[in-house]
């Protein structure tokens, strides 16, 4: 069942981190290959001709593209280890809804926070915090979004924590001050080896953002 597993990835990508966490949670060995996004490999272009993006999970030579699809695939193939997605159809729908929400909101708003200034940035910060608060509401008193163990929503959201320091520095605000429950949840997740080992250091991500800002001519 394991076969040959390769993950084409880029170290600061929160999307790549999702698949890393899912594989680590289930203890599945794989080959990690770092892509240079300014010089994409032939393998990447061949395996994801539609989007030409990372992450790409290659299982026995067959590609699975898009991080949310990869996490579901990993969960379905290795279903007997550390299940991430609930088995009840309604709970599954709730989890999918929130992952869809995270995909529609968090990355884009976060990007606006580090890319823009003035009113645009202020609006992005406000909406970003509102989204985190909605997610806090969904978490409630649970240990994780998945209940007592890491679930699909946890895996989809926690990678963005590695970008929080960059957002805070660029946006001059504190996420913990606004959303303490969110940070408490993050800290619980970070105690898990699968998460801690899959996320890069926040300062490294911030340095990377600063470099990107130079490249794009953003002050």
Partner 1 sequence: MKWRTIFSSKTMGDDEVKVFGMWASPYSRRVELALKLKGIPYEYIEEDLSNKSALLIKHNPVHQKIPVLVHNGKSIPESLVILEYIDETWRNNPILLSQDPYDRAMARFWAKFIDEKILSTTRKVSFTTGKEQEHAIEEVTEQLKLLENEVKGKAYFGGEGIGYVDIVANFLVFWFGNLQEALGINIFSQHKFPFIFEWIQNQLKIDMVDECRIPKDKHLTYIQTKLAAFKSASK
Q: Does position 40 bind partner 1 by CB under 8 A?
A: no
Taking the least distance from each CB to partner 1, the nearer of 64 and 209 is: 64
Inter-residue contact 167 to 131 (CB < 8 Å) = no
CA distance 31 to 195: 18
Q: Which of 89, 118, 140, 217 binds partner 1 (CB under 8 A)?
A: 89
Taking the least distance from each CB to partner 1, the nearer of 89 and 217 is: 89
For the chain, state the CA radius of gyration: 17
Q: Does position 45 bind partner 1 by CB under 8 A?
A: no
Q: Residue 200 has what DSSP assignment?
A: P
Q: Does position 69 bind partner 1 by CB under 8 A?
A: yes
Taking the least distance from each CB to partner 1, the nearer of 93 and 196 is: 93
Q: Which of 59, 112, 125, 192 binds partner 1 (CB under 8 A)?
A: 59
**Site stretch for partner 1 (CB under 8 A), options 15-23, 36-44, 91-99, 114-122:** 91-99
- Sorted by sequence, the CB contacts under 8 Å of residue 166 that are 6+ apart come out as 114, 202, 205, 206, 208, 209
Q: Does position 125 bind partner 1 by CB under 8 A?
A: no
**Contacts of partner 1 in 92-111 (CB under 8 A):** 92-93, 96-97, 100-101
| 38's tokens | 């300014």
Q: Does position 76 bind partner 1 by CB under 8 A?
A: yes
Inter-residue contact 7 to 57 (CB < 8 Å) = yes
- Sorted by sequence, the CB contacts under 8 Å of residue 94 that are 6+ apart come out as none
Regarding beta strands 31-34 and 56-59, do their DSSP bridges make them parallel or antiparallel, or are they unpaired? unpaired
Instruction: List interacting residues with partner 1 (CB under 8 A).
Output: 50, 59, 62, 64-66, 69-70, 72-73, 76-77, 89-90, 92-93, 96-97, 100-101, 134
């Amino acid at each position: 069942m394991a076969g040959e597993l390769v993950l084409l990835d880029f170290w600061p990508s929160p999307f790549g981190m999702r698949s890393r966490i899912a594989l680590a949670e289930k203890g599945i060995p794989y080959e990690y290959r770092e892509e240079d996004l300014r010089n994409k490999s032939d393998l990447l272009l061949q395996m994801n001709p539609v989007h030409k993006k990372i992450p790409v999970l290659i299982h026995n030579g067959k590609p699975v593209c898009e991080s949310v699809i990869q996490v579901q695939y990993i969960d379905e193939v290795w279903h007997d280890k550390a299940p991430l997605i609930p088995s009840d159809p309604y709970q599954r729908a709730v989890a999918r809804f929130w992952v869809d929400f995270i995909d529609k909101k968090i990355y884009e708003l976060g990007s606006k926070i580090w890319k823009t200034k003035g009113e645009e940035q202020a609006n992005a910060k406000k909406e970003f915090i509102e989204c985190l608060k909605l997610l806090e509401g969904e978490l409630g008193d649970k240990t994780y979004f998945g209940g007592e163990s890491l679930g699909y929503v946890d895996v989809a959201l926690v990678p963005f924590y590695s970008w929080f320091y960059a957002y805070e520095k660029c946006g001059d605000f504190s996420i913990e001050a606004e959303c303490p429950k969110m940070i408490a949840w993050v800290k619980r997740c970070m105690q898990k080896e699968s998460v801690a080992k899959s996320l890069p250091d926040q300062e490294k991500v911030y340095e990377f953002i600063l470099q990107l800002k130079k490249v794009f001519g953003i002050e």
